[in-house]
């Protein structure tokens, strides 16, 4: 439990809630119900094992925060997740009701590990992210989101066998995930690349015969597997230019998949979207 003020609220509540739920207790020393609710919240926080954080705000000392969150009576409890208020209750409540309130906020241990994995990945700590993903999957083998993230990391480091093992364990519901199509395309490219000639050999084939669209597609797959998205898009665009019908429009369809994979390179994607439109229209 920590005490927050206007100056520390963004750090202690909004930023902290991006890693785990934060429960804010607006209280005041003169408030009788506050003296009953506060210790109960502190006890439940200790029992939670760090799955959520309690922050107390003295409403008398922080009227700006009370006004901002519409506090008209205390105790007033607001829960924050991902920097936003998501739930609240007013007045002292029995322990059972508070536990039910918290149960709606606190992710299960597997989901908590997944959150920590994504935070580590955003910070460039791939090895730490992979550790958290292993924990998430061990806690809940049906956690498709964790498996999809694990597949992406394994593909990044070239562990095709490990990626395929996780992919085979996904449930049918995984296809509903936003990352499904992108990771599926990456895995397919990596598997194809493993059976293809080296990029240099394919490039020499194209030098000898620029119209060899099968070689262009194979070279694009190798580039995709290596996350060389600009080089892949160049080959795919050339396929579209030379024969839109080749492979049932595979050049255009594969370009759309690469656009999703290369989302972290918006200038590249924008350039090739414009060039593709110029060819199509």
Instruction: Identify the active-site residue in 31, 137, 146, 154.
Output: 31
Adjacent-strand bridge partners of 53: 22
The yes-or-no answer on residue 10 being catalytic is no
The four Cα atoms 159, 161, 167, 169 give a dihedral, to 10 degrees, of -130
3-state secondary structure of 169: coil
Instruction: Identify the active-site residue in 4, 16, 22, 34.
Output: 34
Q: Are 27 and 74 in contact (CB under 8 A)?
A: yes
User: How many Å apart are CA 130 and CA 154, to the nearest integer?
Assistant: 9
Backbone angles phi, psi at 53, to 5 degrees: -125, 140
The yes-or-no answer on residue 34 being catalytic is yes
Is the C-alpha dihedral spanning 35, 37, 41, 44 positive or negative? positive
Q: How many helices (H) and strands (E) does the chain have?
A: 14, 5
Identify the H or E element spanning 126: helix 126-139
* 141 CB-near residues (< 8 Å, 6+ apart): 169
User: How many Å apart are CA 215 and CA 206, to the nearest integer?
Assistant: 7
User: How many Å apart are CA 174 and CA 143, to the nearest integer?
Assistant: 9
- Residue 38 tokens read as 């506060």
User: How many Å apart are CA 24 and CA 3, to the nearest integer?
Assistant: 9
Chain position carrying tokens 């993903």: 133
Positions marked active-site: 31, 34
């Amino acid at each position: 439990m920590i005490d927050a003020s206007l100056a520390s609220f963004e750090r202690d509540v909004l930023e902290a809630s991006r890693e785990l739920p934060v429960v804010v207790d607006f209280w005041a020393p003169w408030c009788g119900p506050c003296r009953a609710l506060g210790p109960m919240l502190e006890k439940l926080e200790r029992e939670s094992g760090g799955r959520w954080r309690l922050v107390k705000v003295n409403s008398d000392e922080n009227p700006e925060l009370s006004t901002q969150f519409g506090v008209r009576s205390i105790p007033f409890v607001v829960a924050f997740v991902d920097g936003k208020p998501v739930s609240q209750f007013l007045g002292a409540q029995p322990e059972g009701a508070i536990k039910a309130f918290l149960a709606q906020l606190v992710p299960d241990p597997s989901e908590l590990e997944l959150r920590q994995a994504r935070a580590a990945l955003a910070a460039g700590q791939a090895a730490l992210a992979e550790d958290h993903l292993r924990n998430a999957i061990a806690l809940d083998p049906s956690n498709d989101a964790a498996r999809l993230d694990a597949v992406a990391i394994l593909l990044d480091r070239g562990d095709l066998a490990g990626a395929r093992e996780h992919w085979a364990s996904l449930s049918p519901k995984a296809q509903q995930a936003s990352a499904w199509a992108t990771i599926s395309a990456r895995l397919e490219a990596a598997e194809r690349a493993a059976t293809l000639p080296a990029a240099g050999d394919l490039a020499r084939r194209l030098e000898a015969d620029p119209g060899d669209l099968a070689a262009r597609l194979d070279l694009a797959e190798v580039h995709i597997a290596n996350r060389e998205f600009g080089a892949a898009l160049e080959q795919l665009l050339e396929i579209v230019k030379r024969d839109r019908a080749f492979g049932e429009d595979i050049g255009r369809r594969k370009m759309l998949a690469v656009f999703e994979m290369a989302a972290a390179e918006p200038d590249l994607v924008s350039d090739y979207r414009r060039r593709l439109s110029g060819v199509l229209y």
